[in-house]
A and B are shown apart, each in its own frame.
Chain A
Amino acid sequence: SQTIHQWPATLVQPVGSPLSLECTVEGTSNPNLYWYRQAAGRGLQLLFYSVGIGQISSEVPQNLSASRPQDRQFILSSKKLLLSDSGFYLCAFLRQSSYNEQFFGPGTRLTVL
């Protein structure tokens, strides 16, 4: 079966510190992968998506970057965190079917102080 993992589950970081969030998928090969951010009281916002190793598309200009060093690994990074980077970060993968449905990971709660 296909599963998706994210870590850490929660993170508290000071302003200006670096960030690395990791997402891995099991049970599928060459998945499309996505990073979303969910701010309090707001809908999910697509940050990045990747259709293959080394292929990253950015949806919104921001302080974050993404990388895909391996087929089933997706990393969200920042060199210097801002207060506005606080939020709930979700990774998702696309399951190929007639619906092309996205399945979400458990999320990472990031608080920047």
Chain B
Amino acid sequence: KNQVEQSPQSLIILEGKNCTLQCNYTVSPFSNLRWYKQDTGRGPVSLTIMTFSENTKSNGRYTATLDADTKQSSLHITASQLSDSASYICVVSTGFQKLVFGTGTRLLVSP
């Protein structure tokens, strides 16, 4: 069964600190892995997208890594800001149009 599991479910960090979110997947066939940021009550916005051959990709203070052998990905946020408070969703594509969504990690950055 295709699944995407994320941890932790929720996380509270102080402003300025770094954090790492985890994503494990059992999806086959694998096409690409995406990280989305979803503010409360808004649609998800893409942060990074990586194919099988890409190990890391950055978008400003967000850096995603992918280990296709262990089927794990992480999203690292450096120097967190209050605006980083949101849900972060890991999504794996099995191919054209088929996406498997994780339930997300809810991040709260506290002043």
Give residues in A with beta carbon < 8 Å to B. 6, 32, 34, 41-46, 49, 88, 90, 92, 94, 98-107, 109
Contact = CB atoms under 8 A, between A and B. Distances in A.
Interface in B50-107: 51, 89, 93, 96-97, 99, 101-104
B102 A43 contact: yes
A104 B37 CA distance: 11
B97 A105 contact: no
A42 B96 contact: no
B51 A43 contact: no
Contacts of B49: 99, 101
Chain A interface, >50% SS class: strand
Q: Interface residues of B toward A: which range?
A: 20 to 34
Contact of A103 (B42, B46, B99, B103): B46
B44 to A, nearest CB: 5
Contacts of A49: 97
Contact of A32 (B34, B42, B97): B97
28 contacts: A6-B43, A34-B97, A41-B103, A43-B4, A43-B89, A43-B101, A43-B102, A43-B104, A44-B44, A44-B89, A44-B101, A88-B41, A90-B43, A92-B43, A94-B97, A98-B51, A99-B32, A100-B96, A100-B97, A101-B34, A101-B49, A102-B99, A103-B46, A104-B43, A104-B45, A105-B43, A106-B43, A109-B41
Contacts of A45: 101
A100 B103 CA distance: 22
Contacts of A44: 44, 89, 99, 101
Contacts, number: 47
Chain B interface, >50% SS class: strand
A42 B38 CA distance: 13
Contacts of B43: 6, 90, 92, 104-107
B75 to A, nearest CB: 16
Contacts of A88: 41
The 3 A-B residue pairs with the shortest CB-CB distance, nearest first, are: A104-B43, A43-B101, A44-B101
Contacts of B101: 43-45
